[in-house]
Chain A
C-alpha cells in the first residue's frame, strides 16, 4: 500500500492533478449551484481543447529540449487557411486538411531551421512567430474572413440531443485521442524514446546513433500538425478566419506543459500532466468568471498558481534527488 502511494506520488501528473482538484473544489464550494453543473464541466472541457491539443505538441518539443513560440501564430494562420479554403468552395474536410497541411509545413520549417542552422529553438520560433503571423494577416487581407463553417463548428459546439451518447463534443474526444496517441508514442515507440533521450542528453543520444536532426524535424512537424488540428478546432469555435487570433496562446500552452511537470531544459514532462495543466488554467478562468472576479485579479491569480504549482512540484521531487548524494 505504501509502495503504491509512493509510486502515485512519483507520477509527474500527480502534482497538477492535486492542484486541479483543489482549485476545482474551491470554486465548486464558492458557487455550488452553477460551477459544479454538468453543463459547465462540459463547457470547460470544450474550452480547453485548443490549448490541450497545442500542449500535446509542445510537450513533445519540450521533452526533446526545444520550445515553440510560433504555435499561436500557426493556429491563427490555420483558421485563415481553413476560412479561405471554405470561401473558395472546398469541402469542409478538404479545407481542414489544407489548414493542417499548412500548419505542418510551418512546423517542419521550424524543425529544419533548428536542426539545419543550429540556431536555438527560442530564437528560431521567435522569428517564425512573427513570420507566420504576418503570413496569416497577408493571406486574410488584414481582416477577419467570413466563411460558411459547413459543419466544422459542430466539432466544438454543445452536442445536439440526438448525439447525447458522445457525452462531450467531438473536439474534446479528438484532444483526448491525440493525447493518448502521443502519450503512447512516448513510451511505446522508438521515436518516443529518441525524443526523451535527446532532451535528456543530446550528445549521449548522438553517441547511441540516434538520428538527432531527423527526430528534431519530425517533432516540430508533428507539433505543427497538432497546432493545425487545434487551429481547425479554433476555427470551429470562431467560425471566422481571424489572423489576430491566439495572440499569446504560446505562453498559455507553455504554462500548461510546465505546470504538468515539463522542464524548459528538456528530458522531462508528460502528456497527462500537460492536459491537466491546460485544464487547470481553464478552471481558474471559468471559476473567476463565475465568482465575478475582475480581470486584473484573475491574471494575478493565474500567475500565482503557475508559480506555486511548479514550485510545489520541484519541492516534491527534491527528497528523491538528495538521496542520490553520497
Chain B
C-alpha cells in the first residue's frame, strides 16, 4: 500500500513540476517576444548604418535565449536537437546575416511567443481555472443574486454548484495530466524550429569522424611499429642466438660436458624468447580477454593489482571485441593511475551494459566506473594517461568523465556505445 501511495505522490509531484515548467516556459516566451523585436529593429536600422552595430549583440542575445530553450527541452523532456554552429563573433552584421542559424533563431522568436506560448499556457490555465471552480464556486454563488457562470454551468443552486465543483476538479486533473505531454510537445515544437538542418549535423559528424579516424590510424601505426620493434629486439634476436648456440653445441659433441652446457643455455634462450612473445601478446590482446570476455579479464587485472580491487560485473554475453579491448586497456590504465597517484588502497570497479533508455539514446552502452578511496584532486590535463584513454575512446564515440574533488574519492566513468551479444560459441 505504502509503495502505491509513494508512487502516486511522486506522480503528483511530477505533474505539478510539469505545470510549473509550463508556466515558466510561457514567461520565457514573453522574454523572447522582447528580444525578437529588438533583432527586427536592428535589421530595420541596417540601411542607416546603426543596425551594423546593433545586430551582432542582438543576434547573440537571441541565440542565448534559443540555447536556453534547447537546454530546457533536453533537461525537462529529454528532447535533444542538434545545436547550430556558433554565431560568427567577430565578422560583424554581414556574417550574422549569412548565418543559417540566425534566421532559424529569428523564425523561432517570431512563432514561439504565439504558438509555443499558447501551447504551454493550456495546463496552468486549466489548473488555475479548475482551482477557481473548486475553491470559489461553492461560496460565491450565494453572494450573487442570480448566480454566475462557471464555464458552461450557470451556478445558482446547490446542484449546479456541485456540478461546477466537479467540473473544476476535472479541469485541474486534466491540467495536471496534460502538463508533461504538453511540455514534451512544446520541446518538440522548439526542436522543429531550432534544430540545425540534417546537413549541418552531418558535416559536423564527418569532421568528428575524420578526426577520430586519424587518431585511430595513428594509434594503429604506432602499435604495429612497437610490435615490429619488440619482435626484432626480443624474440627474433633470441631465436638467432638460440640457433647459434645449437650450432655451437653440435661442434662440441666430442666434449659432452661443454655440449651439455651449451644445450642448457640454448634451452634457456628458448624460454626467454617465449617470455618475450608472451609479454608482446599480452600487450596486443590479453588471452584472458579472448577466453572469457571483459568481466573476467578485469577480475584478472584486479587479482594482479597491489590494491584491494572489488569488481562488480553486470554484463550479459559478450561485447564487440574492439570495445572489450579498449575498455580493458582503459581499466588497466586507470588501475595503474590509482596505484601510482591516488594514495588510496581500495578500488571499486563496476562494469555494466545498459540497453539504453529514453527516446533519444538508442542502442546499448557499456559503462565502466572506477572509484578509488584516495586523496582526489586528480587533474585530467596532467599526465598523458587519461588523455590517451580519452582519445582512444573517441574512436568508439565513447566518453570519459573524471570526478575528483580534493580529499577524494576519485571516480572515473567511461561510456562506450555498443550492442551486447550472446555468449560467443565459436571463433575458429
Task: Please say whether chains A and B are actual partners in one complex.
Answer: no
